[in-house]
Amino acid sequence: MQENFITPRLLLDALNFSDVEFVRVLVNTPGWIEFIGDRKIKTNEDGLVYIQKLMSNPNIQYWVVRLKSQNIPVGVITFIKRDYLDSHDIGFAFLPEYSGKGFAYEAASVVLDAAKSDPVHSRIFATTLKENVKSIGLLQKLGFHFEMEIEVEEEILQVYSHDSA
């Protein structure tokens, strides 16, 4: 899938090492820690190791979402082939001050549309905790529907699916 996307308000660029400060801040927000998990990234050095791990994994595509008007990072969109799912999983996380403004929908929509245009991605998943009602609402707005619950690392995840047909 392509490395860059442009929407009316946003720029999505492939993650790179210059994003380290933003990634460190994002993964330490209360929402990330509560719904995604503590990545134990406390320094920029920790962040560089984390980014290297993401960038070196061929099953992970990770875009930093920036406001087009100011070129500042506000969130991320991910597209990951997880071992426990048959198809790729789309994910998103945004800084709290940029939540509720439609940025996640705008950014996820463009990635979802690109993925659906490839026959390989006839089905796309998204996982979340049942307590993450904001994410569930966004997934439903994007056209995902609840499919099942699974247990991963002693945590119950809700799996949503989106068929391109």
Domain parsing of the chain, residue ranges: 4-120
- Dig out the tokens for 23 from the structure: 């990634």
**For the whole model, what pTM was predicted?**
0.95
In 3-state terms, the chain is what percent helix, strand and coil (to 5)? 35, 30, 35
CA 69 to chain CA centroid, Å, is 22
Q: Answer yes or no: CATH 3.30.43.10 is held by domain 4-120.
A: no
List the pLDDT tens digit at each of the 165 positions of the chain.
Answer: 899 999 999 999 999 999 999 999 999 999 999 999 999 999 999 999 999 999 999 999 999 999 999 999 999 999 999 999 999 999 999 999 999 999 999 999 999 999 999 988 999 999 999 999 999 999 999 999 999 999 999 999 999 999 865
Angle made by CA atoms 102, 138, 108, in degrees to the nearest 5? 65
